[in-house]
Amino acid sequence: MNRISAYALILLFTLLFILLFGGSSCLAAYRNPAPALALNSAVPLIPATAWLYLSLPLFLVCAARRLNIAAQWRFFLLLTGELVVASIAFQLYPVHVHFMQPENPQGAGQTLLRLAHTIGMSHNYLPSLHCAFATTAAALLHRHVSRPARAVIWLYAAAINISTLTIHAHHWLDLVAGNLLVLLLWQPIRRLARATLPGYQTHLLWLHNQARFARRHPRYALVSLILYSQYPFHPKRSKLMIAGYCFLQAYDDIMDGDRPLNGSLKTSATKTNAADCGTASHALTPPQHAAQIIRQWQSYAQPAQRQPENRHGVFQAAANSAADMRQPEIPSKPLSDLPQLACLFNRQLARLPAYAEAHAEVARLLRLMQADAVRAPARLLYPQARLQRHMRQTFASSLNLLFCAQQCATRAEHVPELVRALAWCSAMRDWDADLACGIINIPAEVWHAARLAPDERNGRVVSQNPAVAAWLAQQKQHAEQDLRDLFFRLPQIKRQDPAAAKIIRLFARSVWRFAEKRYPKRFGGG
């Protein structure tokens, strides 16, 4: 998780730096720069030290990767605070460099020198962010490295500070102001980092799981992008959607076999864990782990579990240690991130007026997804009526949960066409992966009529069987007719419930595009 935290903060800070540092230089160009101090002309020009100046980004990246998550968050806040204060100072006191630059630079050192001055912008001199950033990195690394390494790090930071003078990129006053800026922000940022760390850890847990989803299939990256694009405009609603998405998708991945318990979620089923759970000493199966999560979720129905958020926008239970978040039914060392994700989702869900209904829908979804984990190892075949009921109940609960989150009056029973279309789309989209892991979304009657081997896992072999192909064509026709009926009713739904109509239109169009483009590519036919 440290690596994900480091790279996420590096990316975010890079975007902020480009926006603020570059923007401040452009704005300062319209102001009359103040004169530089004449005493700087005594500093010699040493082009060879330009590599020290240019090595700062690498120094910052290495520092971020070396720090733990709490220190990474403080590091990010310090650098951002220094960037914001400096950007304001650049506008209040824009200066120009006093040093004379060589007219015809030649050689490797002179090339690096020219690059360093290009990066430094035209008016962003006082205070020196190069000095501030280098000193900040050294100060935070001080407690995370050995004693010999401390001396090397401080010498390196000092060398970067001095290089700003020896390449004539800054004045003495800029260097002093940059280091004073670090001292000015050190304690305030320390308190801010402590107060906001739980919230950052919550978002990091969500980001970690979304990264796992996206690595499995690119479409999940698009879902994350859509959710986070709404965050600046509807932060509370977006947090609820992100929390639910991470919990339910992670749970579904485990139940479907797409994410094994051992390894992928930092799990280890020890004898102690097994004893605490009342199971055998071997690793728990996904259905057994699901039973733990379902018991945990059911315990949240108690009113005492509906706790308010603290002043930093983090639910108090989530802000406490991981041990405080677990329920008695969950082992002291959880097998996955699911206990934490469930707790965070429940705390977000508790803000809804329809909490009881939403809570019940989640419980129903968990049991339905658990059933997939039960039937996969045995490759169970469901009769057509039972299979349809299972699939449609899954998407009815999913839709109802989404409608509750958006505080819509519409429910899944009002749009049965969409429920059926989503169930069809899901089965077709995951056809190959589901068959490979043992989830057979084909009626037992069709499977037996096709005379397929009980252990057949090749999705293409199954779909090319004449009996299965005929059934697939029939199901596609039914789905397309459902969508046409739904599009016909959509204007009426929009008049009655505009928010629900947006959700319905979004899903209906997505399924229609799948039927028109992706389905023919995979299964053939029009």
Q: What is the pLDDT of residues 80-119, one digit of tens each?
A: 999 999 988 888 777 665 555 554 555 555 666 666 666 6
The more confidently predicted of residues 36 and 342 is 342
CB 282 within 8 A of CB 274: yes
CA separation for the pair 56, 157 (Å, rounded):
9
Cα angle at 43 between 41 and 48, to 5 degrees? 130
Q: Return all residues near 280 (Cβ < 8 A) that are at least 6 apart.
A: 274
| 95: three-class secondary structure by DSSP | strand
Q: Rg of the Cα trace of the chain?
A: 29
Q: Alpha carbon 286 to chain centroid distance?
A: 24
Domain extent listing, the chain:
2-98+107-197, 217-264+284-378, 421-526
CB 6 within 8 A of CB 68: no
How would residue 329 be classed by pLDDT, with cut points 50, 70 and 90?
A: very low
Residue 145 is classified by DSSP as S
CB 330 within 8 A of CB 292: yes
Phi, psi (degrees; rounded to nearest 5) at 309 = -80, 155
The more confidently predicted of residues 44 and 363 is 363
pLDDT in the model for residue 37 = 52
Burial environment of residue 84 by CB neighbours within 10 A (0 to 12, 13 to 18, 19 or more): middle
Cα angle at 274 between 269 and 278, to 5 degrees? 155
Tokens 């690498």 locate to 58
The whole model's pTM is what?
A: 0.79
Burial environment of residue 385 by CB neighbours within 10 A (0 to 12, 13 to 18, 19 or more): exposed
pLDDT in the model for residue 101 = 52
Question: Per-residue pLDDT for 331 more than 80?
Answer: no
Residue from 306, 302, 490, 523 nearest 414 by CA:
490
Question: Per-residue pLDDT for 387 more than 50?
Answer: yes
Count the Cβ atoms, other than its own, within 10 Å of residue 310: 14
Q: What is the largest CA-CA distance in the chain?
A: 93
**pLDDT tens-digit readout, 9-28:** 999 999 998 888 777 766 76
Average pLDDT along the chain:
84
